[in-house]
Amino acid sequence: MRILLIVVLGLVWVANEYQSGGLTPQSSVATQESTLQKSTTGLSVSKIDEAFRNQQSDLIVVEEGRVIKVLPDDTKGSQHQRFLVKLNSGLTVLIAHNIDLAPRVSRLKSGDFIRFKGEYEWNEKGGVVHWTHHDPAKRHAGGWVELDGKRYE
């Protein structure tokens, strides 16, 4: 009887972790990354669009868009390659790609179409996406920037 109780409690815990996002199978992650939610108008609304509208931060996002401006690197503390990306919705976000932990996105220029995965942080200008690199300590979801089929992580 005790074993049955332990098994049931374990299953309840696992189900709760799946619902809260603590455990996500790889196939489910790929599906979530490629799925866009539909708004009430029928247009595709990205996770970043919803987070911006709701002033949410600390969300792992996978998005794509067009580079509209390559900015100078941020060299204070950890070095970051910085560039502005316009999403399909028209929202503009800043990508802060840590080049101490990941390779620089080479030959990046305005007009390039990129995909990226990272952590979104809200601000009034559209937000910032960082953590577009692997985590050497493996405590945070890894991210990346993809240009012309090459992934920088």
Instruction: Locate the domains of the chain by residue range.
Output: 1-35, 36-152
Least confident of 25-29, 45-49, 73-77, 112-116: 25-29
Q: What percent of the chain has pLDDT over 70?
A: 71
pLDDT in tens, 18-56: 454 444 443 333 333 333 343 333 445 689 999 999 999
18's tokens: 């799946």
For residue 99, what pLDDT is reported? 97
**8 A C-beta contact, residue 54 and residue 89:** no
Q: Looking at per-residue confidence, does 30 or 99 come out higher?
A: 99
Please check whether the domain covering 36-152 is classified as CATH 2.40.50.200. Answer: yes
> Residue 114: is its pLDDT beyond 90?
yes
What's 97-129 look like in SS3? EECCCCCCCCCCCCCCEEEEEEEEECCCCCCEE
**8 A C-beta contact, residue 127 and residue 80:** no
> Token match 């455990």: residue?
23
In the structure, what pLDDT confidence band is assigned to residue 2 with cuts at 50, 70 and 90?
A: low
For residue 16, what pLDDT is reported? 52
Q: What are phi and psi of 69, to 5 degrees?
A: -160, 135
